[in-house]
Structure 1
């Protein structure tokens, strides 16, 4: 029997106070934030730190819970999936991204300009939340 998959992602500020957006192979050309599946025995925070390191080479600090979303058979995702998305806000001290094979493009952008990118619905919600909280 199929079950929902728990995934994590983070909106991350770099040293110049810009946030990292990425276009990956999994969201049909839409932009989002790096992240991925939580492994067995791993906390949500450990998972987001690991996924970020694997996908971008970046180390995170000041990791804070932001929100939880549910993606049920989203047409934006590359295959049928039911995901529980746990989002975080975090910082990194290094702007040099070393992308893995999932990341097609990336950009550091001011938070206020993030919504000008073609974001997936779930990242747009996260960006709007950060803006509404006055994050910088």
Structure 2
């Protein structure tokens, strides 16, 4: 029997105040934030830090819970899935990206610039949350 999969992701600010967006193989060409599945026995924050190291080679600091979303059979995702997306905000001291095979493109952008990207629905919601917190 299939069950929902818990995933983590984060909107991360670099040292110059811009945020990281990535285009991956898993969201049908749409832009989003790095992240992935939580492994059994792993905390959400540990999973987030591991995924960022694996996908883009960044160490995260100042990790702060942002929101939880559900992606239930989203047509934006590369296959049918029920995902529980636990989103965070974080920062990093580096801009140098070391992409793994999932990352097709990346960009450091302002929150305003991010709006012009073809974002997946869930990242768009995370950006809106970031703007609420920013005020």
TM-score of the alignment, normalized to the shorter chain, above 0.5: yes
1:124 Cα deviation (Å)? 0.2
Structure 1 residues 48-95: Cα deviation after superposition (integer angstroms, max 9, x where no partner): 000000000000000000000000000000000000000000000000
Q: Distance in 2 between matches of 1:3 and 1:28?
A: 22
1:132 Cα deviation (Å)? 1.6
Structure 1 residues 24-64: Cα deviation after superposition (integer angstroms, max 9, x where no partner): 00000000000000001000000000000000000000000
Structure 2 match to 1:84: 84
Structure 2 match to 1:51: 51
For these two proteins, the number of residue pairs brought into alignment is 135
1:133 Cα deviation (Å)? 1.4
Q: Distance in 2 between matches of 1:69 and 1:95?
A: 27
Structure 1 match to 2:2: 2
RMSD value, Cα? 0.7
Structure 2 match to 1:122: 122
TM-score, normalised relative to structure 2? 0.99
Structure 2 match to 1:20: 20
TM-score, normalised relative to structure 1? 0.98
Q: Distance in 1 between matches of 2:20 and 2:71?
A: 22
Hey, which bits of structure 1, 4+ residues long, moved more than 2 A? none
Q: Distance in 2 between matches of 1:111 and 1:15?
A: 14
Return 5+ residue gaps in structure 2 as ranges. Answer: none
Matched residue SS, 1:133: helix
Structure 1 match to 2:113: 113
1:116 Cα deviation (Å)? 0.8
Q: Distance in 2 between matches of 1:112 and 1:133?
A: 15
Mapped contact 1:55–1:103 kept (Cα < 8 A): yes
Return 5+ residue gaps in structure 1 as ranges. Answer: none
